[in-house]
Amino acid sequence: MAANSGSSAGPSLQGAGLLGGALNLRGRPRPGEAIIKVALVVSAMVSVIITVGIIAALIEPVFEFFAEVPFGDFFAAEGQYAVLPLVTATLMVTFIALLVAVPLGLGAAMYLSEYASPGARKVLKPTVELLAGVPSVVYGFFALTFVTPTLLQEILGVEVGFTNALAAGLVLGIMIIPTVASLSEDALSAVPQALRQGSLAMGANRMQTTLRVVMPAALSGIAAAVVLGLSRAIGETMIVALAAGAQKNLSIDPRDGMQTMTGFIAQTAGGENPVGSVSYNNLFAVGLLLFVITLIINMISIYFVRRYRQVY
């Protein structure tokens, strides 16, 4: 695709040279197309403007915030502006979510890539992806009104609070299954058929082939899938805002209610915070931290994707 734009002009120039100017194949100048091209470039640049905009939008209030609140009060375990309890709660919920999503997502990916017939795949893959189409506020409501009271308290008899990290993490895990499954499946399917054939020829069955040949070969792609799922889980808001809790809590007990970073932003935004106040700027400080964390994680994911694309 990329080569076309360059080469389309190339041959006509050569042709003109050969015919010694008798035929001008250069084509007439097309100012309209130049304008269109500029418009397309500008549209593509919008994505960069958005990135710069995010950083600019976040940084200014954050500077104001740190002008009034010392660094130590922000990266503290306790206090009005402490962010560490939010970070630990985010990690806790995300960890539970990954415990659910990684095995299930990988299992689904293995089935789709290694076992399913093309016809079955066509039906099953959209079925798995259906989970990603459900709005997160719906998952949050489900965690709050079904998973906590019915599943955890009544059926399993776990002593959890009204809001707790466990229910939020479990439901969040369900939500990111399609993310993990979809990318892992791409990675597994990209493994060359020759590797499978070699393994089968040596007498291995499909399970052994999948686990010992295909999965190791696709490992960096699977890693990318897990890392992307991780980033989704960290950034998800509505589930944790409804089901994880609204109190900062430096607890490592998943049965406790605890507020995550996104939950904090959602709750603070819902309250009365005049623009420019310290609590308003605090919102942006947490937002910037969240953005930086997910940015780093996304870069790791992109790195892994590059690696598996390069091997084959």
Residues in region 43-72 near another protein by CB under 8 A: 43-48, 50-51, 53-54, 56-58
φ/ψ (deg, to 5) at 276? 95, -10
Among 138, 156, 252, 311, binds another protein (CB under 8 A): 138
* Residue number with CB closer to another protein (88 or 262): 262
* Residue 278 within binding range of another protein, rule CB under 8 A: no
* Residue number with CB closer to another protein (72 or 146): 146
Under rule CB under 8 A, how many of the chain's residues touch another protein? 110
* Residue number with CB closer to another protein (237 or 279): 237
Look-up of token digits 């953005």: 291
Separation CA 203–CA 3 (nearest Å): 45
* Residue 241 within binding range of another protein, rule CB under 8 A: yes
* Residue number with CB closer to another protein (209 or 220): 209
Does residue 248 contact residue 256 with C-beta atoms inside 8 Å? no
Separation CA 128–CA 108 (nearest Å): 8
* Residue number with CB closer to another protein (84 or 132): 132
| First-to-last C-alpha distance (Å) of the chain | 20
User: Site residues for another protein, window 208-227 (CB under 8 A)?
Assistant: 209, 211
* Residue 157 within binding range of another protein, rule CB under 8 A: no
Q: How far is the CB of 251 from another protein (least distance, A)?
A: 22
* Residue 206 within binding range of another protein, rule CB under 8 A: yes
Contacts 24+ apart (CB under 8 A), 65-70: 65/278, 65/281, 65/282, 65/284, 65/285, 66/285, 68/278, 68/281, 69/278, 69/282
